[in-house]
Structure formats: structure tokens, C-alpha cells
Chain A
Amino acid sequence: MSDLVDSLSQLAPLAILGLWSLLLVAVARARLQGLAALHRGIALVGVALAAAAALALVGDPAIDVGVTVLGGALIVDPLAALVDLALLAALAATILLSRRDDAPGIASAVVIAAGLMLTIHAVDLLPMVAGLEIGALGLVALLGRDPAARPAALRWLVGQGILSATLLFGVALIVAATGTTAIAEIGGRAAMIFTRWGAGPAQIAVDLLTSGVPIPEALEGEARRRAVTAMAPAALFLPGMLLVFASLALRFGVAFGHRLLTLAYDRAAPMALVLIAGLRLAALVALLRLFVAGLHVPRQLFAPYGWSTPAVLLIAATLAVGGVIALRGRELRRWLAGQAIVSGGWLLLAALAAANFYAHAGLRGGSLTVMDHHEWGLASGDAAVAAILGLALAEGLAAAGLAAIVAAVGDPRARGPLALRGLARRRPLVGGAAALLLLALVGAPPTAVFIARFELLLATITDTNLPVRVLVGVAMLAAVLVAAGALRHLAALFARPAAGEEPAPTRAASAVAVVAAALVLLAGSAPEVLRRSLELAACGAGLRPGPHSRGDRLEALRLRWAGIEPAAPEDVDAPAAPVIEPALVGPAASPGDGGGIELDKDPR
């Protein structure tokens, strides 16, 4: 019992939000006349309490190395604390954008946020999937609140249902192959699968069967049994891994899943539009925890079996598709969807680079000592993860602010394609904020997105693999297309509106946009505070949670912040054995190597 209480105290933001979601659902169900008007206030109190709890955790050294709770299913670490805070901010904006008496809508939003928060804290496949499903499928309730948007909500439901089925099937295959749902265990067990596959008896059996030499029937049967037994887990694991990767990435809004995103952006009410950013954030964290931190052993990452090959193709397609959508986006909502898709491509590219760094940490020497190489790989991976979080938060903030104001001015079909035409002339403050948010989303200085993109590019380009570097170029060109698409909306903001067509965003939407613009500008001009939070959140992301693995790195980070140089090793040139986590150990060569996109070059 005391363990449960301890766990709940560590998980205070999630626990508060979970309780509040139940409370709000109960109140909404009761349909009490007196409470309807108070519903928004009640929800905001819950969000404020959860935010206070999350704020107390940000920067708290007690959770530096990651505290696992509820039997290791969930974790409380700096990454989760930071993303919790961002999600709660999005939820607060969502509630402010709702109608005061929209009890079902507000309750749905809180339930969705609680589900997404569950995913953010999950280090086990089951809560990860459960939270994501609550978030993705729960959004149908918000999308469908407007009768005109119900067909779109239905399509969203069908699309997300297919992705749910894919995700569950993939998870089932992974569990069948590895026998565990714990993310920290999956990488190591998968490495063992490949090791067994390429190990002596199985390989001898394969060689024997493929040699063409006549062999006795009994021996052939035994050889087949051994070969199949050794290969079977891999045959389950690989499709499972790729299915999970595909469903998470598609939910994140990459190419081929982008239709869902454009659909939602085209039709969603302000509340849903902001929470979609939250859903993407949770999917990103799940991708980071499972694939970047968990499945970065070379065999799981590189060609021919690893997830890097589909990732490279998916990133290229995402950047191209998103760039074209944004360039052609006559409606601001459609442009926002294109921008979000391109942003997804950037983030996935950095995730690929981060996994590549972690994969190589400690595995190859080159001209560095083994220990130096190990440290370099981890540091570069951490920098890439920090950059991913930075860009996701900065762009999420700017996109949420702009989405709120766009959605609040009404149906684009009624107002014409340039929804914000004349806003800057009619309301200079709100129009200026919208212009700033638009400029931020195209990466203009000195906004937070500019800094975040620069950090992300720097982290990614450190990886010298050709596909990654080529994709960096493609990403920059896609960003140019997004910026070109933004020009017409920027010009429309300052244009003279036709009589009777002046945009009139609600007061709440205006407030959300102005606050978002101010934060984006502040975080870009003085980025040190946010940067430290990001560094802390990403420190040791490629290692298992716990003091034995992450402790030294976090201690060194805090010493560096305090201006104290950590003591240098006595002799760095000595052939020291690197401290390599089990998840980092590369497998022996296995059959079928070769082919596919070459991404297993040393990224240094």
C-alpha cells in the first residue's frame, strides 16, 4: 500500500489529471444545472494543480536518473516532467478555448490529456498503447461535437482504428518474440534473438541445408528444426518492430498518415486542434522511448532488417509531401497541416540520427579511444534528443497559438481561404502575435523555433552518414517551401479586409495566441532556461533509467552547469573497457546481411 502511495506521489500530475478526468466525466454525466457553468473552472483548477505538481518535478534532482513506478510500467524522469508541463499548457489552452458550459467537451479533453500523459510516462508497451489509444480515439469525441465535422470525425475514427490494430498486432509480435513488454528489456532480448540466429548450431544447420550436399533424412529434419527454431523469434520480432514503428510514425503524421492530419486540421474545432498537437507530442515521446532509447542496437537499426531503412524513405516522403501541402495551402489550416507534416519529418530525421549515435557508442574505436568514442556517441545522441524535444515544444507552442486563433475565426469555407485577412489592421496586438507565430513556424529569428531548428540541424549534421546528410538538405528545402507557403497568409494579415469580413477571434483565442507569441519570442531571445531543461531531459536518454547507468552523466552535467570541470580520467589513452549497457551490445553477424540503405557507417 505504501508503495502505491509513493508511486502516486511521484506521479502526482498524472494522478491528479486522472482523478479530475473521472470527476469531470461524472459531473458531465450528472447534468447538474448549477455545475454546468462551473465546469470550465473546475477543470482549470485540476489542470493548475497538476501543473504545479509537474513544475515541482522539473529540475528536481530526485528524478534525474528516472524513478520507475507501478512495477516498472511507468517512469518519472526529467523528460516526462518537461513534456507533462507542455501537455498541461496545451490542455489549459484547450479548456480556455471551449464554451463555458460545454461539459462533455471539457471532460473529453481532460480524459484525452490523461491518456496522453500515460503514454508520456510509459516504459512498458501496455500503458504506452493504452494511453495512445485513449488519446487518439478520444479525439473523435471532440472532432464530432460539430455536426458538420462528423463525417471527418468518422474518417478519423476509421484511420485511427486501423493504426490501433496495427500497433496492437505489432506489440503482440514483439511480445511473442521477446517475452517481455518492458521497453528497457526489449532491446537486449532482441539482440539475443539475432545472436542466437547467427550463432553456431543454427548457422551450421543453415549452411548444411543450403550446401546442396545429400544428407540423411533424420539429420535434415533436425537441421530444419534448429534453423527454424533459431529464426522464428526474429521472424516475429522484425515485422512486429516495423509495424509498431509504422503505426507510431503514422500517428505522428508522417507521409501516408498525413491524410489524417490534414483531415483533422481542416475541420477541427479549436479544442481538438490544440489537443492534436498533444497527441503528436505523446507519439513522439513513445517513438523516442521505444526506438531511440530502446531499439538502437545496430541489428535493430541498420539495413537490412533495422528500422532505419523505412525511416529514411518515410522521412524523405514526409518532407516532400508536407512541403508541397504547405506551399499549396491556400487555407491557413491546410498550411498548418503541411507545416506540421514537415516538422514531423525534421523530428524523425533527428530521431534517426540520435539512434545512430547511440548505436555506435562504444562499438567502434576509429582514431579515438574506446572510452572517448563511447562518450562521444552518448553525448551526440543526448544532444540530438534535446534538439528533438526543443523543436517539438517550440513548434508545438507556436502551432497551438496560431491554431487557436485560426480555428476561432470560424469556418474557412464561410470566410474564404485567407482566414485572418486584415486581422493586423483591425487588432494590431492579436494580428502582430499571429504574424509572429507564423514567422516562428517558418523558423525566423529570433524566435525559439529558429534556435531549436539550428540545434537540431547541428545535432543531425554531426552524423556523417550520407542518407542523413542528404535528408538534412531535403529538410531545409522543405522548410523553404513551408516558408513560401506562409507568405500569402502573412500578407493577408496586413491586407485591408473587405467590409463585413473582419476576422473576430474570441477573447480566449486571442489571449492564447498572444501568450504563445510572447513565450516563443522570449524562449528564442533568452533560451538558456529552456535549454537546460532540455539538456536535463535528454541526458542519458540512450541508457537505461537508474543511478548505475545515468547517474555519472547527470552528475557531470550538473557539475558543468555549476562551472566545475569533472575530473579527467587518469589516462584516457589506456585501453579502458567501456561501460556498455546490455542494450548497446551489438550482435554477431547474422545471415542475410547486405542490401538496403547503407546507414551503418560510423557517424563520426
Chain B
Amino acid sequence: MTGLWLLLGLPTLAAAACALSRDAVATALARAAALVTALLATAFALEAPLGAALTLPWIPERGLAFALALDPLAIPGILTVAWITALATTAERGRGLGLLLVGEVVALTAWLANDLVTLVAALGLLAPVAAAMVSRGRQATAAVFLPLAVAAAAVTLVALLLGLAYHEASSGAWSFALRDGLGVVLPASLSAPAALAALVGAWLLAGIWPLHGWWRVAAEVAPPGRGAWLVAVVRPLGIGLLLRLSLPAVASDAAAFAPLLGVAGGVALVVGLLAAASERDGARRHLHLAHVPIAAALVGVAGATAEGLSGALLLGLGGGLAFAVAHLAGAAPRPHRVARGIGLLGLLCVPGTLGFAGLLPIATTTLTQGGWLLAAPTALGLLLFAAPALALAPTLAAVAREPGADPARRPTEASGALGLPLAAALLVVFGLAPAALHGRVNAAAPAWVRGVYQRWCVAVVDPQPRARPAAKLEVEGCEQAVLRVHEHQRGRATP
């Protein structure tokens, strides 16, 4: 609990101090606070007891609370936010760094939210913060703000419907706790609008093709540090939202959801790779490759397996870190070719990078499962075997020829000297030894899969016009069916 307070309190205080300080002091303060928060977050994510919680009641009668908890599924997200904020602060200077710290607090709150209204509040604040980070021209600001605000509105709608369903299932009690909302089997009348809103919210936030316009604009228009932050932090948040809210919330529609996600992931992978291969401007190639990790993560989510789940979360972290490194290295006045190369390789999920550690379990389960979906395995195969031919070689060749960035947008020299090599090293070190992250995420993944399958099975086997608590249901056949699926996924039994 103290860890949670520190994690949010430190950047909040630092952001306030930045606003009241002179530029030089604000720079030092923000960098120090971001670094300490990153170290704290790493220690907290890897060592704190799972389920550590912090709850401040808001409207008890309505079941509203400001509630945070350490969910194992949020661990890669917390690290993504903390590390990338620390990296991004080295690329800028001045009082504006306070904005990055505010963004860090909001993004951390969204990952740690244990209450639907807390999540809605965090996403609601994320949109204006993101817009403020761009703030270069009306159109660019609107291009970033509107999709994120619509995503927040969509998540609000999901939260309302889940709250309403819980109210109905519990005969009149109100609760917006994530666990309570997701512990209900929705009737079709609530499930359909909730599914649509949940999908739209996560899709927009993750910037999945073809709704990827906002992060392209952010990366191209915003100053390098903020551009890297927006893409690398907010998009994994979308994948997290898909995993932690969207799919469990609409488990009864999972059968319709999963193929859609898989196909979309496959298509986005192909689009990203082909666009990167055909891009003439080497400095923009990473913008196309940024599709790759998120698309692969989408395939992992679509598979609804424990391995796919943890792989998707690692891909979010790996992809985000790789993008930030590639983006900031490319924006430096004297390009850090090694760091940029590692960043681009990270985006392509080549072996030895964190992306590969996430991709491998997804590929294994999706390719062996097969059958239910054609596009996703094909695309993954393409990524694993044809990516070098399609994108890797020209990408690396281009890195060697890239000129320095426009001096008007240059980050500070310090960022090149310290931040980028460290981040690139992190990308490789966790790629080679991902066990620490895998272990914690895997602790929660099987239960998540089991819960989704159970609600889906109950909704299919015993459809009802009213919402019901899933925990109290014992529909004949579901327990065994879920168990078999679960065991099959773990590779201990044949279907």
C-alpha cells in the first residue's frame, strides 16, 4: 500500500514542483523523480505481494471508490509507463517535463485501477494530457484528443453497463469494483452494447490499424520525448484494457470477438511489415514497424490462452520500449545508430529482444492450435520467417545511412549519453532473461482464461434474460469443458 502511495505520490509532487520552479530546477527535479519512480516501480512490480491494494471511498452507497491494486496482469504495464517516462524525461528539458510526470500518474492509475470508475477517471484525464503533450496546431491536437476521448467515453459506457449488471445480479447492491463487474454474466441486452463499446475503446486506445491515425500524428508532431511517450505508453494501455476489461466483460460474445481480433491482428501485422519494407524515408520506418508488436499482441489476446496472454503483455512492454528507443535515437542530432538498430530489431521482435520473448509463446500456442483462424497464424509465420527478407535488411541498411534529425526538434545531448543505451540494454537484457516478468504474469493468466471460458460457457449453455453472478453458477457441463480447455492449453491433455 505504501508502495502504491509512493508510486503515484512522487511524480505528482514532482509535477507540482516543476510547475513552480525555474527551467533548470524543473529539469533536474523531473528527471530525478522519473528515475526514482522507475526504480520504485521495478521493485514494486517484481517484489510486492500480488493484490497489494489502496482504497479511498468516494461514494460508498453507490459502490464508488478510488481503488488501486497490484494486478499481476498490470505488471508489464507499470514497468512500461515508469521506464518510458524516465527515458522520455531525458529527451527534454524545462517546466514542460511536469506534463510527462502527470501523464505517468494518469497512466499508472489506469493500469493499477481496481475500480471501474477509477479506470474511467484515469482514461478521461489521459485524453487532455495527451492533447496537451502534442499541442502543436489545432488539427494535430484534435487528431490525438478525439480518439482518446472517444475511447474514454466508450469505457465509461462499459463501466456503466457492468455496474448496472452487477446491480441487477446482486438484487440491488451497487459496486463498480473491477472484480465485481467482471464477475457477472451479462444478458444479451447488455452484452451487445458492452461488447461494442469495449472493443471500440480498446481498439482506439491501442491504435490498431485502421484506427492508428492518432499515434502517427503524435509521433510526428509532438516533441520527440512526448511523442515517444504517447505511442509507447498509451498503446500498450489499450492492449491491457482489452485483456483486463474488454474480453472478460463480454465473455459471452468471446466467440465472435476472438476471430475478429485475430484477423485484425494478422492484417495489421502484414500491413506494418509491408509498409515498413516499402517506406522510402528511413527515419519514418519505425512508425510502420510499430504496428508489429501490438498486432502480434492482438493475436495473442485473440487466442485466449494463458501463454498468449502473458506474451501479449510482454509484447506491449517490449514494443513500447523498442519504439521509444528507435524514435528517440532517430531524433537525436547525431543518430545513435546502435540504439536505433536495437529499437528497430525490438519492434520486429527478433530473437534476443523482449519482443521475441513475448512473441514466442503466442506463436507456439496460435500455430499449434490452428484451425479456428487462418489469418493470424499466417501472419505470425510471415513475421517469424519472412520479416528479415521483407523489412529487417532494408531497415538496418537504412539506419546506416540516416542523417541527423532537424536541430529544431533535437533532444538534449544528455539523453543520448545516458537514457538510450540504458533503455536499449533493458530491451536486450529482459529479452534474454524474461523469466522474472513471465513468472509473475503467469501466476494470474490461467485464472483469467478460466474465468473467461466459464462465463462464455455459461452464457452459451444457459442463456438468461437477466444478469447473474458467475461465481454462483454451476451449469452442468461447463466445469468439465473449461477444465479440458484449460488442460489442453497447458499441454497436459489432448482434447
Contact = CB atoms under 8 A, between A and B. Distances in A.
A479 B127 CA distance: 13
Given A451-B59, A480-B146, A457 B153 contact: no
B156 A476 contact: yes
A491 B135 contact: yes
A488 B128 CA distance: 11
B160 interface: yes
A553 interface: no
Contacts of B157: 461, 472-473, 476
A439 interface: yes
Given A450-B124, A458-B163, A476-B153, A484 B59 contact: no
Interface in A456-485: 457-458, 461-462, 464, 469, 472-473, 476-477, 479-480, 483-484
B153 A480 contact: yes
A310 interface: no
Nearest to B127: A483
Interface residues of B, number: 33
A487 B124 contact: no
Contact of A464 (B117, B128, B189): B189
Interface stretch (A55-63, A109-117, A440-448, A588-596): A440-448
Contacts of B160: 454, 457-458, 461
A582 interface: no
B384 interface: no
Contact of A480 (B120, B138, B150): B150
B125 interface: yes
A138 interface: no
A417 interface: no
Interface in B156-203: 156-157, 160-161, 163-164, 189, 193
B142 interface: yes
B149 A450 contact: no
B121 A450 contact: yes
B128 A454 contact: no
Contacts of B135: 491
A90 B403 CA distance: 61
Contacts of A476: 153, 156-157
A484 B149 contact: yes
A528 interface: yes
B141 interface: yes
Nearest to B20: A428
B229 interface: no
Nearest to B151: A480
Contacts of A479: 153
Contacts, number: 76
Contacts of A457: 156, 160
A96 interface: no
Contacts of A469: 193
A487 B131 contact: yes
A590 to B, nearest CB: 30
A527 B57 CA distance: 11
B86 to A, nearest CB: 25
A531 interface: yes
Contacts of A480: 146, 149-150, 153
Interface residues of A, number: 32
A600 interface: no
A490 B135 CA distance: 11
B145 interface: yes
Contacts of B150: 477, 480
Nearest to A491: B135
A446 B121 contact: yes
Nearest to A525: B58
Interface string B449-492: 00000000000000000100000000000000000000000000
A455 interface: yes
A531 B138 contact: no
Contact of B164 (A439, A444, A454, A461): A461
Given A469-B193, A531-B59, A487 B128 contact: yes
B434 to A, nearest CB: 36
A528 B64 CA distance: 11
Q: Counting chain B CB atoms within 10 Å of each CB, which of A367, A469, A473, A483 scores highest? A: A483
Contact of B58 (A461, A473, A487, A527): A527
Contacts of B132: 487, 490-491
A497 to B, nearest CB: 17
B22 interface: no
Contacts of A483: 127-128, 145, 149
Contacts of B142: 484, 487
B62 interface: yes
A479 B156 CA distance: 12
Nearest to B163: A458
Contacts of B128: 439, 442, 444, 483, 487, 490
Contacts of A445: 120-121, 124-125
Contacts of B141: 487-488, 491
Contacts of A477: 150, 153
A151 to B, nearest CB: 31
A443 B163 CA distance: 19
A469 B192 CA distance: 13
B383 to A, nearest CB: 35
A455 to B, nearest CB: 7
A455 B160 CA distance: 10
A528 B157 CA distance: 24
B131 A444 contact: no
A527 B489 CA distance: 47
Given A458-B164, A464-B189, A484 B145 contact: yes
A236 to B, nearest CB: 40
Contacts of A464: 189
Contacts of B117: 454
Q: Which of A451, A461, A480 has the most CB of B within 10 A?
A: A480
Contacts of A461: 157, 160-161, 164
A474 to B, nearest CB: 11
A479 B64 CA distance: 22
Contacts of B161: 461
Nearest to B66: A446
Contacts of B127: 483
A452 B278 CA distance: 51
A326 to B, nearest CB: 13
B153 A527 contact: no
A479 B149 CA distance: 9
A488 B138 contact: yes
B155 to A, nearest CB: 11
A451 B59 CA distance: 9
Contacts of B146: 480, 484
A515 to B, nearest CB: 22
Interface in B190-225: 193
A364 to B, nearest CB: 15
Nearest to A561: B61
Nearest to B190: A464
Interface in B25-83: 58-59, 61-62, 64, 66
B449 to A, nearest CB: 30
Contacts of A444: 124-125, 128
Given A445-B121, A476-B157, A527-B58, 20 more contacts: A439-B128, A444-B128, A445-B125, A450-B124, A451-B64, A455-B62, A458-B164, A461-B160, A464-B189, A476-B153, A480-B150, A483-B149, A484-B142, A484-B145, A484-B146, A487-B128, A488-B138, A488-B141, A491-B135, A491-B141
23 contacts: A443-B124, A444-B124, A444-B125, A445-B121, A446-B121, A450-B121, A450-B124, A451-B59, A454-B156, A461-B157, A461-B164, A462-B164, A476-B153, A477-B153, A480-B149, A483-B127, A484-B142, A484-B149, A487-B131, A487-B142, A488-B141, A528-B59, A531-B61
Interface of A: 367, 439, 442-446, 450-451, 454-455, 457-458, 461-462, 464, 469, 472-473, 476-477, 479-480, 483-484, 487-488, 490-491, 527-528, 531
Those 9 A-B pairs whose CB atoms lie nearest each other, nearest first: A445-B121, A476-B153, A480-B149, A461-B160, A487-B131, A457-B160, A484-B145, A483-B149, A480-B153
